[in-house]
Amino acid sequence: MINLAIAGASGKMGRMLLEACATDKDTALIAALDAAQSPAVGVSARVFGGNVDVNVSVDAAALPRGAVLVDFTRPEATLAYVDACVKAGVGMVIGTTGFDDAGKAKIAAAAKQIPIVFSPNYSVGVNTVFKLLELAAKSLDSSYDVEIIEMHHRMKVDAPSGTALKLGEVIAEAQGTKLADRAVYAREGHTGARETGAIGFVALRGGDVVGDHTVVFAGIGERIEITHKSSNRTAYAAGAIRAAKFLQGKTSGLFDMYDVLGLR
């Protein structure tokens, strides 16, 4: 049995995680966390989809050693949870995106003391797309221009999405390059001809779109498109629960969904 704590319990993803935990016979909800200013603090997790009378709290430091905290919140909150989990000896499943290099380095350092799964997307389908892109990127040379188009709901605060960036990283690495050397995040005005080898990004925001991602390989005379669309957050929650189970018995290490799904 995996003892789980869910961060951001009253949010959209938090509720999905609570529901996923409630229906999984191998997990037990032991804590639900939220920001100190949240009106959910002190309210039973049952209100948000949990199946036990655990009140939402703010104290991650009180989690028992060996538990796993699942966190899909915001970078500043996640990094505070990282500190608390290291002190408490609690593993983490991190689905938060939008970290800068310093934030990523802090997570990597924490993983030397606690086990962490850190992935921009926990959908099994999306991670399968990552694997497909490795094959496509190795097969298609620089005569195929790469564009990544993503769309999310109007409330998303980072762009491009963490998943879109990961798509670009997968392609660049499969071709023996670095995304930082190839990424183009904005085009405006008289830009001139497209630079060979560039990986372009387009970020769309609107409505309640959960997450759509399309990678276009545009060649001369043909175009290949690989698309993944999410209609709800169920797949992300299920993947996160699977990741939490993967951490059982591990004392440290930085992992991603390739490790969880055995795709390496």
Whether pLDDT at 4 is above 90: yes
The reported pLDDT for the residue numbered 248 is: 94
Whether pLDDT at 140 is above 90: yes
Question: Does residue 115 sit in the same domain as residue 9?
Answer: yes
Tell me, yes or no, if 190 is annotated catalytic: no
Q: Can you spell out the DSSP letters for 60-99? A: GGGSPTT-EEEE-S-HHHHHHHHHHHHHHT-EEEE-----
Question: Does residue 102 sit in the same domain as residue 135?
Answer: no
Other residues' Cβ atoms within 10 Å of the Cβ of residue 64: 12
Question: Does residue 217 sit in the same domain as residue 252?
Answer: no
Question: Does residue 15 sit in the same domain as residue 101?
Answer: yes
Output the pTM of the full model: 0.83
| CATH number, residue 193 | 3.30.360.10
Question: Does residue 20 sit in the same domain as residue 113?
Answer: yes
Question: Does residue 11 sit in the same domain as residue 118?
Answer: yes
188/126 Cα distance (integer angstroms): 30
Residue-range definition of the domain harbouring residue 39: 2-122+233-261
- Total domains in the fold of the chain: 2
Tell me, yes or no, if 153 is annotated catalytic: no
Instruction: Please identify which of the residues 12, 104, 131, 156 carries the catalytic annotation.
Output: 156
The reported pLDDT for the residue numbered 264 is: 80
| CATH number, residue 116 | 3.40.50.720
* pLDDT 10s digits, 73-113: 999 999 999 999 999 999 999 999 999 999 999 999 999 99
Whether pLDDT at 169 is above 90: yes
Instruction: Please identify which of the residues 12, 112, 131, 152 carries the catalytic annotation.
Output: 152
Question: Does residue 118 sit in the same domain as residue 130?
Answer: no
